[in-house]
Structure 1
Amino acid sequence: MDTKTNTILIFDLDDTLYKEIDYLSSAYKEIASFISKKVTKSSEQLWQEMLASYHRGDNVFHAIIKRYQLTDVGIEDFIAMYRRHHPHIQLTSSTKQFLASVKEQVFKVGLITDGRGMQQRHKLKALGLSNYFDTVVISEEFGSEKPNKANFKYFEDTYGAHLDYIYVGDNTAKDFIAPNTLGWQTFCLLDDGRNIHKQSFDLEPSKYPNHCIRDLSDMALILPLTYNPHEITSS
């Protein structure tokens, strides 16, 4: 198979190309810096408190407002800061090299991700992926979110249904329903313990991916890609 002319490879973003917990940590750090100007604790201490609160399952913003009796800022203000901030996140060297390799081999590379347009595009910029994808579907901009089939069908309408479509995601609750229905190949990147949304494989058949992988480079063991995952070094 000539992958350059036949394959369209489409990715999810959060917890697939990078770890969403890193975005959360970045946002908390910025918010902690903001709060530190109002209280007597350092931004580092506040950041660590917020992370600990998150891992306990608290409502982090409510807890921090209550603990420090913040009266001039509310939960909605923190949510807005969380969504608007320019994150300090990056691809692993493994992911970066894999993406560069497959970009040269497949016909088109796309992205289907749920979230707000500004927030997701800030992530793409921070990851150095703003110009990487040929087509980007972000739920807020597109008008619907996964598992809506329209978000996926858009690619077939754009490039043709006769091509070989592959979707790579991580969320077993919603990522694979639509592409499975459309007859695409689906890959699930397994949770390494850091995912925001935990995976469950107690699934009805329509939700189950075709393949489960532990690293994106493992796709090269299944697909006709001239790429050796053992030649890379993960960061």
Structure 2
Amino acid sequence: MKGKYVIFDLDDTLMYEIDYLESAYREIASLLDEHNKDHLYQDMITWYYENKDVFGLLEEKYSRAKIELLDIYRNHFPVIKIGKDVREVFNYIIQNSYKLGLISDGRSVTQRNKLKALDIEDFFDKIIISEEFGSTKPDLRNFEIFMDNENFEYFYIGDNTKKDFIAPNKLGWVTIALKDAGKNIHKQDFDVAQEHKPQFIVNSLKEIVNLIN
């Protein structure tokens, strides 16, 4: 019987990227205006949802905004939490001696800080982050690196129909999309070419347990 390798995307799959954004905005608001940080934070969130240039508006309002807002956004240690579903699924995977992997596009410090804040970094047998690895999804290499043993069945769980499922579909993996519950930064579109489509769509991560059995 083949072993099982269950590999996840990070942003908007294991955590909501909007939670990271909100954490960064709170950090920036506190640095720019400690006495009015809550009001400034609310302004920033409003600007964001109005599709305005948040950092540009901050630079107009605060001369000290030249303190590299983008660097603060990318490098801050976020205040974020892992969902109950993620813990339950990870526990199931570990209890059944399946292997656990992660493929995530992004900067090393940003993605590693997310994993540390969520307290899940040590769960994974292998982590591929694009800046560290040198290529981004849907490059086949980001996925093939996991295929060092032919005695495994591979599962990939993601959310982004533009790039998440192309490579694992080509490699014959089981591909699963976590349906957007209305919080994803990048909106899903399942009306795409066949190579972009996941084989399964779930409403919660707990549903993947039945698919990997």
- State the TM-score bracket (shorter-chain normalisation): over 0.9
Distance 1:85 1:186 in 2: 32
Is it true that 1:97 corresponds to 2:93 in the alignment? no
* 1:87 alignment partner, SS class: coil
Which residue of 2 is the match for residue 73 of structure 1? 65
Aligned partner letter, 1:116: R
Matched, 1:180 2:161: no
Q: 2:44 aligns with which of 46, 50, 53?
A: 50
Question: By how many angstroms is 1:106 displaced?
Answer: 4.2
Cα RMSD (Å): 1.4
8 A contact 1:8–1:106 mirrored in 2: no
Equivalent position of 2:138 in the other structure: 147
Per-residue CA deviation, residues 111-165 of structure 1 (Å, 9 max, x unaligned), is 0000001110000000011211010000000000001110000111xx3244200
Match of 1:134 among 125, 128, 131: 125
TM-score normalised over the length of structure 2: 0.96
CA offsets per residue over residues 170-218 of structure 1, 9 Å max, x none? Answer: 0010000000000000000000000011001111111000000010001
- Mapped to 1, the partners of 2:138 and 2:97 lie a distance apart of 25
The amino acid across from 1:56 in the alignment is E
Superposed, 1:1-235 pairs within 5 Å as 6-37=3-34, 42-66=36-60, 68=61, 70-74=62-66, 77-156=68-147, 159-224=148-213
- My pick for the range that moved more, 187-196 or 101-110, is 101-110
SS state at 2:77 partner: coil
- Please give the alpha-carbon distance, in whole angstroms, between the structure 2 residues aligned to 1:212 and 1:21: 21
Shift of 1:222: 2.5
Shift in Å, 1:65: 1.9
% same residue: 42
Gaps of 5+ in 1: 225-235
Size of the aligned set, in residue pairs, is 213
- Write out per-residue CA displacement over residues 67-91 of structure 1, whole angstroms, 9 at most, x where no aligned residue: x1x23433x8000000110000011
SS at match of 2:122: coil
Q: What is the CA–CA distance in structure 1 between the aligned matches of 2:210 and 2:82, rounded to whole Å?
A: 21
Unaligned ranges ≥5, structure 2: none
Distance 1:144 1:119 in 2: 16
Q: Counterpart in 2 of 1:227?
A: none
Identify the range of structure 1 (50-59 vs 90-99) with the bigger mean alpha-carbon deviation: 90-99
